[in-house]
Copies of this chain bind each other. A is one copy, B any other.
Amino acid sequence: MYMNEEISLANGAGGEAYRQMVQEIFIPGYGSPELNQLGDSAVLAGPGGSGELAFTTDSFVVWPLFFPGGDVGSLAVSGTVNDLAVAGAIPRYISVAMIIEAGFPTETLKRITASIAATAERAGVRVVTGDTKVVEHGRADGIYITTSGVGTFDGNWPRPPQQPCAGDALLVSGPLASHGVAVMAAREKLEFEPPLQSDARPLAGLIRSLLDSGLSVHAMRDPTRGGLGATLCEWAEDSGLNLTIKETDLPVKAEVRAACDLLGLDPLFCANEGVVALALPADQAEAAVACLRAHPDGRAARIIGQVSAGLPGQPGHVSVDTGYGTLRRVTLPEGEILPRIC
């Protein structure tokens, strides 16, 4: 497959077209040892050879700007904080760069600013630098926010190697697809009872309590764009291992599942903004679930599958055990998943 002549919405949606753009344009263009890892955060040498740093960036173009459970500001802080936390870093500092469309209401900017402040406080990070540009009316869609973050590796735990191992259990810390479906419902002005709420939240505290417990986390990701499915596909491809998840074990809220059915969405590929996916040795899985559930942001944590050795000479893959005695192969969607979900 080759890139099309024009960039399309699919190239921004976190599926196969996104991956291809990164592999064919950015890595050959300005790749570096750190960038080419394609982790949630880059891991950098600190000043004068001192402790390492985590560094990450994300732009947020979510539409609508406000949705049940969050807004572009809380999302921009949560997304960047979570990218630092899943790397095993303690999130410390963030930057906020805004691109605003002329005519944007000043009151709305103040609301978003307040949301950034509240989310940063909850996450234990400080906004230390920023920038604002304004473009003509019609050259943006309200406001776009880019946050970058710096974290330090001075927690009392080893850095997760980000390599699942054969024999690992796969876990998620909470119900899937809530963010993507809540934003889509808000965009389409669909009302559900109970209302769909985004899960957007900073997970620094939850992840810290897990890592502090001394469990050997092998891999940890923040399954945002592309959802849990994209994270698992990347783990399988990078490791050459086979990942199997049990469909009936995937936690999805009833109202989210109903909305997915209505909107024709697969919860496995819908964005999460308040869930961590992890792989760790099977004999530590129950302890990890207990640890996650002890934290308010991990009440619905559960084991969803396991990792096994791949066949020699064959690439790793992801399968879903449907519960009816069949295994369904999962692949990264090629086209558009959900545009402007984050």
Contact = CB atoms under 8 A, between A and B. Distances in A.
Given A5-B107, A127-B32, A146-B97, A133 B47 contact: no
B30 A133 contact: no
A106 B339 contact: no
A64 B255 CA distance: 47
B7 A102 contact: yes
Interface of A: 3-13, 18, 21-22, 25-26, 29-35, 41-42, 44, 46-48, 50-53, 55-61, 92-93, 95-107, 109-110, 113-114, 116-117, 120, 126-136, 138-141, 144, 146, 148, 150, 152-154, 339-340
A47 B5 contact: no
B150 A44 contact: yes
A7 B140 CA distance: 13
A57 B93 contact: no
A13 to B, nearest CB: 8
Contacts of A18: 132
17 contacts: A5-B107, A6-B102, A9-B136, A12-B135, A30-B117, A32-B127, A35-B129, A42-B128, A46-B47, A46-B51, A47-B152, A47-B153, A57-B95, A57-B129, A57-B146, A136-B340, A138-B138
Contacts of A153: 47
A117 B48 CA distance: 25
A150 B57 CA distance: 12
A141 B131 CA distance: 19
A58 B8 CA distance: 25
Main SS at interface, chain A: mixed
A30 B96 contact: yes
Nearest to A132: B12
A26 B130 contact: yes
Q: How many copies, total?
A: 2
B134 A9 contact: yes
Given A35-B127, A42-B128, A140-B139, A113 B8 contact: no
B136 A339 contact: yes
A128 B26 CA distance: 11
A186 to B, nearest CB: 17
Contacts of A56: 95, 129
A315 to B, nearest CB: 25
A120 B30 contact: yes
Given A25-B113, A50-B46, A148-B95, A12 B106 contact: no
A72 B326 CA distance: 52
Contacts of A146: 57, 59, 97, 99, 131, 146, 148
Nearest to A89: B47
A154 B47 contact: yes
